[in-house]
Structure 1
Amino acid sequence: MSLQQNKTIRWGIIGLGKIARKFATDLLTIEDAQLQAVASRSIENANAFAKTFKATKAYDSYEALAQDPDVDAIYIATPHSFHKSHAILCLKHGKAVLCEKPFAMNTEEVKEMISVAKANNVLLMEALWTYFLPHYQFALNYIKNETYGKLLKIEADFGFTRPFNESSRLFDKSVGGGSLLDIGIYPIFATLSTLGEPDDIEASCTLFKNGADSSCDMIFKYSNGTEALLKSTLIADTPTICKFTCEDATITLNTQFHAPTTVTIAKNGKEEILDYTGTTIGYNFETEHFNQLLRDGKIESNIMTYDFSLKLINTLDKIRERINLQY
């Protein structure tokens, strides 16, 4: 059932870490949306988060938040391995769910989440925020319309260094830590959203001492000769750019390509730089899209579709199979 078009969407957040803080920061900039409730394993953390971001309620129980009748939608920002269970918890209580990427740990988990969403007629979407950013939509439009001819090659990387800390979520293999699921998903997303699923995948990786992947190098090959050279790493600082080489020009999403950034178009020896850095972190774009889906009574995004999320997680599964990475 669709909601009133001017209805304020009342949000809850499960998992109150770094990404949740970014989401909540941008939520404050959206008209007709408010942070209603937050939940953490620690009531002290929940209370502090609620105070900072003006939430009405704070819980130390995810179940209690899911049952809150004053919450319309829930953003899930817990570690990867909990996404399925937390999403299903919320969906079964009739709450629309925006779940951080990766959607879940593998294809079977994603299929189960989608099945529960459909069975309960509730909106579910993977929160891959890059898809909704203006600079990415700009580049995607040019590529899809072949403004500069056919897309011939993609080169995309995402890398940074952090001291290894086995207790940190980023490095904890048991919750999906490592470079592939955490940041490798962005170069892979850029490729799937422009070239589609590859005909062949080559992949290699290096590992931390606990078995989590420290870096992953991937080559996606297509039957028409197009290829994508992709990299993710937690042991090196890389440019973190995405370069689309077309027949007549190159379109480069510059440093931190997954976030609001500049775009360089190089053609005939000349460069044009477009600035899309904006005034927000960038999470507001996916949230506004989600809010409208909810008001319209939709259970699936027309941009971040179930089919695309399945192709994304299936590709991640194939890469893990090639590098023998098991969780």
Structure 2
Amino acid sequence: MIRYGVIGTNFITDWFVEAGQTTKDFKLTAVYSRTEERAKEFAQKHGAEHTFTQLEDMAASHEIDAVYIASPTALHAEQAILCMQHGKHVLCEKPIASHDQEVTDMIKTAEKQGIVLMEAVKNTALPNFKHLRHAIEKIAPIRRIVTNFCQYSSRYDAYKEGTVLNAFKPELSNGSLMDIGLYCLYPIVDLFGEPENVQATGVLLESGVDGEGTVVLSYPEMEGIAMYSKITNSRLPSEIQGENGSIVIDHIQTLSDMRVYYRDGSEEVLGESQTKPVMSYEIDAFHQKIKGESTDEMVNTLSTSLTTSHVMTEARDQLGVRFPADRSRK
């Protein structure tokens, strides 16, 4: 069994634990929270034996093998590095850090300690992402990929009424790009690698974060376009365009409905039924890395995480979105 400690006791951590309990080798052992009351409440709900209110105590504990981090993004790097320095494997919720320098420091620590660090990006860990990767060859050469995820935030109404909740706080390294935008950018980088150029536009909110935006990634023979928003909705699908056809993806965040439309007029339905809890796939991939098991494709590699962070950091610079965490950038 892989014994977990969790950092964060919000609904995302609830989903994570519930998904983990459907996989093999998962055991929730410890819970960290700033308050003992909340830690005990979450631990009792999910059957964890140990609670901590000091993070270093949990990181040093011999009762856990791995840590899942679901705290605000601004805390990810510091918390992950602390846990890794104590020899704990780390599965860190997306985005893995506030900026690319933090990601570099996290990777260096993982390599030095000889442990596993992985970013918890859901859509690229799904089985249907492998189907998508293989299908690209059928319509190549690829000339354009457009990813779209625009979802009006349930917290935006409060924002407009004057209450700035966590989703729109720069001090927590939040905003549209850092949340929804990653679901659009990460698959592009995973499939096509590092771009030659990044161009970003968007709408800034008074709190200092972006409400929506578009990032264009330029490659030698194609372009990637990521459109995302937390202040509007969209029903537009995502699409990969090749000279021999196109792949239409209904929801880039779940890859639940994908179809190939060939240039000769024929069609093909892609993928399989993804019946397990969505987060269980990333947990399985994390466990395979810890156990050193080979996989058909490496899921959510550190190289992809670092390149995506490069893109997002450059995009934020162009948009004028600055976080307190950026003070640590060299």
1:316 paired with 2:306, answer: no
3-state SS of paired residue (1:251): strand
SS of residue matched to 2:138: coil
Is the counterpart of residue 210 in structure 1 residue 201 in structure 2?
Answer: no
Q: Which amino acid aligns with 1:106?
A: H
Closer, same or farther in 2 for the Cα pair 1:176/1:220, shift >3 Å? same
Distance 1:152 1:15, change over 3 A: same
In the other structure, the counterpart of 2:188 is 191
* TM-score (norm. length: structure 1): 0.89
In the other structure, the counterpart of 1:39 is: 32
Aligned to 2:141: 150
**One of 293, 300, 305 as aligned partner of 2:289:** 293
111-120 or 59-68, which deviates more: 59-68
The residue identity in structure 1 corresponding to 2:247 is I
> What is the alpha-carbon distance in structure 1 between the residues aligned to residue 286 and residue 246 of structure 2?
32
Tell me the CA shift for residue 230 of structure 1: 1.5
* Residue of structure 2 equivalent to 1:124: 117
TM-aligned CA distance change 1:161 to 1:305, over 3 Å: same
Aligned position for 2:11: 18
Q: CA deviation at 1:275?
A: 5.7
Corresponding position: 1:253 with 2:244? no
- 1:31 maps to amino acid: K
Gap runs ≥5 in structure 1: 1-7
Amino acid at match of 1:273: V
Q: Find the aligned partners of 2:289 and 2:194 in 1 and give their Cα distance.
A: 26
Secondary structure of the residue aligned to 1:285 is helix
Partner of 2:326: none
Taking a change above 3 Å as real, the CA distance of residues 240 and 276 of structure 1, as seen in their structure-2 partners, is farther
Q: What is the CA deviation profile of residues 155-208 of structure 1, one whole-angstrom value per residue up to 9, with x for unaligned ones?
A: 111111122435422111111111001111111112112222222222111111
* Aligned residue among 134, 141, 144 for 1:141: 134
SS of the equivalent of 2:259 reads strand
> 1:152 Cα shift?
1.5
Structure 2: gaps spanning 5 or more residues: 324-330
TM-score, normalised to structure 2, is 0.89
Equivalent pairs counted in the alignment come to 314
- Matches for 1:44-83 after TM superposition, within 5 Å: 44-83=37-76
Q: Does structure 2 conserve the Cα–Cα contact (< 8 Å) formed by 1:200 and 1:221? A: yes
Hey, what does 2:328 align to over in structure 1?
A: none
Alpha-carbon distance in 1 for matches of 2:69, 2:76? 7
Residue in structure 2 matched with residue 160 of structure 1 by the alignment: 151
Asked if 1 retains the 8 angstrom alpha-carbon contact of 2:36 and 2:53, the reply is: yes
Indicate yes or no: 2:258 matched with 1:263: yes
- Give the secondary structure class of the aligned counterpart of 1:155: strand
Instruction: Assess if the C-alpha contact under 8 Å between 2:5 and 2:28 holds in 1.
Output: yes
The range that moved more, 88-97 or 231-240, is: 231-240
Structure 1 position 30 matched with structure 2 position 27: no
Percent of counterpart pairs with the same letter? 28
Match of 1:5 in 2: none
Q: Which moved more, 1:103-112 or 1:232-241?
A: 232-241
The correspondence for 2:280, drawn from 278, 284, 294, is 284
Partner of 1:238: 234
Report if aligned partners of 1:260, 1:278 keep a CA contact under 8 Å in 2: no
Per-residue Cα deviation, 1:244-271 (whole angstroms, up to 9, x for no partner): 112222212212x222512122223344
Deviation for aligned residue 1:76: 0.5
- Given that 2:285 and 2:299 are in contact with CA atoms closer than 8 Å, whether structure 1 keeps it comes out as no
Residue 297 to residue 148, structure 1, CA distance change in 2 (3 Å): closer
Match of 1:227 in 2: 223
Q: Is the 8 A contact 2:193 2:304 kept in 1?
A: no
Indicate if the aligned counterparts of 1:263 and 1:276 stay in contact, CA closer than 8 A.
no
State the AA in 1 paired with 2:315: I
For 1:29-79, what per-residue CA distance to the aligned partner results, in whole angstroms no more than 9, with x for missing partners? 012221111111222222222223222222233222212211011011111
Contact kept? 1:66, 1:93, Cα under 8 Å:
yes
Classify the secondary structure of the residue corresponding to 1:91: helix
Amino acid at match of 2:173: G
What CA distance in whole angstroms lies between the structure 2 residues aligned with 1:23 and 1:137?
Answer: 22
Counterpart Cα distance in 1 of 2:178 and 2:273: 25
Q: C-alpha distance in 1, partners of 2:134/2:51?
A: 41
Q: Is the alpha carbon distance of 1:296 and 1:199 closer, same or farther for their aligned partners in structure 2, counting shifts above 3 Å?
A: closer
Pick from 152, 157, 168 the counterpart of residue 171 of structure 1.
168
- Deviating more after overlay: 65-74 vs 76-85: 65-74
